[in-house]
Amino acid sequence: MNFKDQPIISMRNFSREMIDHILAAAEKMEPIARGEERSDLLSGKILAVLFFEPSTRTRMSFETAMLRLGGDVLNLGSVDASSIAKGETLADTIRVVDGYVDAIVLRHPKEGAAHLASEFSSVPILNAGDGAGHHPTQTLLDLYTIKRESHLEDLKIALAGDLKYGRTVHSLCYALSLYGAQITLISPKELRMPEEIINDIIAKGAKIKEVDTIEEAIKDVDVLYMTRIQKERFPDPAEYHKVANKLKITAETLKEAKPELKIMHPLPRVNEIDNKVDDTPHACYFKQAFYGVPVRMAVLGLVLGAIE
Ligand code: CP
């Protein structure tokens, strides 16, 4: 399987074989990610980190992945301190930065920005989130978490929260359809999963059910994937206030859950998971954030041609 020099833009381009290949590579990276083994696999390689939106996990786990593999990181830093503040276009920025580095990680508020960047770049673009579009490495780490902490075969999963604007759930749905997962969608009616995504994933093999409350789904599922209602994606703040706080997991909600239920969240959370849930065996979201490191190590190793 050849990932060398390939951009990673959307999960729509991935087959199940490609995903399984990356997850297997990530498993081998885990001891290095934990600092138990050292590696110079990416020695001499430089990764540019261009974030036009805030991030903690994606940015830092890409940087950690590169450093743990002996590579270097060049961070654009604050957009306000770069020439973008003088009006430089994304295309021109990419055409300049690709001369400095071996791969570029890009987060941008506009859907399609990573695809556009890949048309101007001579090095692989890794999409770290493009507006309400896709976030493919998040999906890969989500799948890795499900594989490590639950199971990908015969999976029953509920996705809850902002299913309209949530790029992590859009990407995850495409990938889960390749595994024939039973997916229950839980959201306020204003934040339903877009119809075209539902139709696409049903055509790919997923079984879909839509419900309004977590309580209707909690008894049956192996994984409950919560997401934040994203205030920053609402054109009208009044619309946000109508739906904020509608879905929340508390210890009470979990009384009916299977003992082996895992709760995932791409984070950051606002108040959709009560802190008391953190102390239950169901909480999986901090492990999930760690798994971003081995998964992004695998992706970097593959696109930079250091592993096959
Ligand atoms: N999960 C995720 O994308 O988190 P950050 O916004 O902190 O990168």
The yes-or-no answer on residue 12 being catalytic is no
Parallel, antiparallel, or unpaired for β 223-226 and 262-264?
Answer: parallel
Q: What is the ipTM of this complex?
A: 0.99
Question: In this structure, which residue's CA is closest to atom 5 in ligand 1?
Answer: 55
If one residue of 49, 52, 56 were mutated to test the ligand 1 pocket, choosing by the most ligand atoms within 8 A of its CB, it would be 56
Q: State both tokens at 61.
A: 């786990």
Taking the domains of the chain in order of start, what are their residue ranges? 11-134+291-303, 136-289
Task: Answer yes or no: is 58 a known binding residue.
Answer: yes
CA of 43 to the centre of ligand 1 (A): 26
Question: How high is the pLDDT of residue 240?
Answer: 67
CA of 281 to the centre of ligand 1 (A): 23
Question: How high is the pLDDT of residue 235?
Answer: 76
Query: Ramachandran region of residue 186, left (φ > 0), alpha (ψ -120 to 50) or beta?
Result: beta
Task: Answer yes or no: is 182 a known binding residue.
Answer: no
The burial of 170, by beta-carbon neighbours within 10 Å (0-12 exposed, 13-18 middle, 19 or more buried), is given as buried
Helices marked H in 107-206: 113-120, 136-149, 167-178, 195-204
Which is the closest atom of ligand 1 to the Cα of 56? 7
3-state secondary structure of 124: coil
- Which positions ≥6 away from 162 have C-beta within 8 Å? 169, 187, 191, 227, 228, 229, 230, 233
The yes-or-no answer on residue 34 being catalytic is no
Domain 136-289 sits in CATH at 3.40.50.1370
Q: Do domains 11-134+291-303 and 136-289 have the same CATH topology?
A: yes
If one residue of 57, 144, 290 were mutated to test the ligand 1 pocket, choosing by the most ligand atoms within 8 A of its CB, it would be 57
CA of 266 to the centre of ligand 1 (A): 7
Q: State both tokens at 229.
A: 């209602």
Amino acid at 193: M
CA of 258 to the centre of ligand 1 (A): 28
Question: How high is the pLDDT of residue 243?
Answer: 72
Task: Answer yes or no: is 167 a known binding residue.
Answer: yes
The yes-or-no answer on residue 68 being catalytic is no
Parallel, antiparallel, or unpaired for β 125-130 and 156-160?
Answer: unpaired
Question: How high is the pLDDT of residue 213?
Answer: 92
Task: Answer yes or no: is 265 a known binding residue.
Answer: no
The yes-or-no answer on residue 135 being catalytic is yes
The yes-or-no answer on residue 233 being catalytic is no
Task: Answer yes or no: is 107 a known binding residue.
Answer: yes
**Residues with Cβ within 6 A of ligand 1?**
55-58, 129, 138, 266-268
Residue with tokens 């959370």: 269
Task: Answer yes or no: is 68 a known binding residue.
Answer: no
Amino acid at 203: A
Catalytic residue among 59, 134, 135, 170: 135
Q: Rounded to whole angstroms, how far apart are CA atoms 123 and 99?
A: 9
CA of 42 to the centre of ligand 1 (A): 24
Question: How high is the pLDDT of residue 205?
Answer: 85
Question: How high is the pLDDT of residue 133?
Answer: 85
Within its chain, how far is the Cα of 271 from the centroid? 20
If one residue of 50, 55, 226 were mutated to test the ligand 1 pocket, choosing by the most ligand atoms within 8 A of its CB, it would be 55
Catalytic residue among 59, 107, 262, 265: 107
Question: How high is the pLDDT of residue 239?
Answer: 76
CA of 133 to the centre of ligand 1 (A): 14
CATH class of 11-134+291-303: alpha beta
pLDDT tens-place values along the chain, 308 residues long: 799 999 999 998 899 999 999 999 999 999 999 999 999 999 999 999 999 999 999 999 999 999 999 999 999 989 888 899 999 999 999 999 999 999 999 999 999 999 999 999 999 999 999 988 889 999 999 999 999 999 999 999 999 998 988 888 988 999 999 999 999 999 988 889 999 999 999 998 889 999 999 999 999 999 999 998 877 767 777 776 777 777 899 999 999 999 999 999 999 998 899 999 999 999 999 999 999 999 999 999 999 999 99
